[in-house]
Amino acid sequence: MRILLDTNRYTDFCKAVPEAVAPVTAAERVFLPFVALAELRGGFQAGTLARENERTLARFLASERVSVLYPDETTTQVYAGLFAQLRRQGTPIPTNDIWIAALALQYNLALLSRDAHFDNLPQLRRA
């Protein structure tokens, strides 16, 4: 399975939470969306363990199974469709999470996240 890792499940993986460790370990490929990378680094900068957290992240990103996923023109189209869908449904979700969902859909990845609001997107596969 190829998975897209949300910020909260990366954190869970680092804390050895079984619900995060098992799917990450079993995945053929793991993708970290650019948004999650930015959120993580923002948290690192605001915390007291920035250097240690960056080293841990660098080791994770150095794995041959892990890649950072960035948006392109197609991503913006998928994002726009999701934004409109969520608005029609009356179920908005945070902007960063729309980007994450758009990347998951664009690349046919299963999303690993604790956020229940992703359930408002039934076309999104969950890991």
DSSP 14: H
Question: In Å, what is the CA distance from 114 to each residue of 20, 43, 64, 72, 83?
Answer: 9, 18, 25, 26, 20
The whole-number pLDDT of residue 4 equals 98
The whole-number pLDDT of residue 121 equals 98
Is-above-0.75 flag for pTM?
yes
How many Cβ atoms from other residues are within 10 Å of residue 29's Cβ? 15
Residue 59's Cβ-count burial label (10 Å; 0-12, 13-18, 19+) is exposed
108: confidence class by pLDDT, cuts 50, 70, 90? very high
Give the separation between CA 64 and CA 57, rounded to whole angstroms.
14
102: confidence class by pLDDT, cuts 50, 70, 90? very high
Asked whether the beta carbons of 4 and 69 are under 8 A apart, the reply is yes
DSSP 103: H
The whole-number pLDDT of residue 42 equals 97
- Per DSSP bridges, beta strands 110-112 and 66-69 are unpaired
In what side-by-side order are the strands of the sheet with 29-33? Answer: 66-69, 29-33, 2-5, 110-112
pLDDT digits (tens, 9 = 90+) for 35-93: 999 999 999 999 999 999 999 999 999 999 999 999 999 999 999 999 999 999 999 99
Domains, in order of start, for the chain = 2-114 (3.40.50.1010)
The whole-number pLDDT of residue 84 equals 98
SS3 30: strand
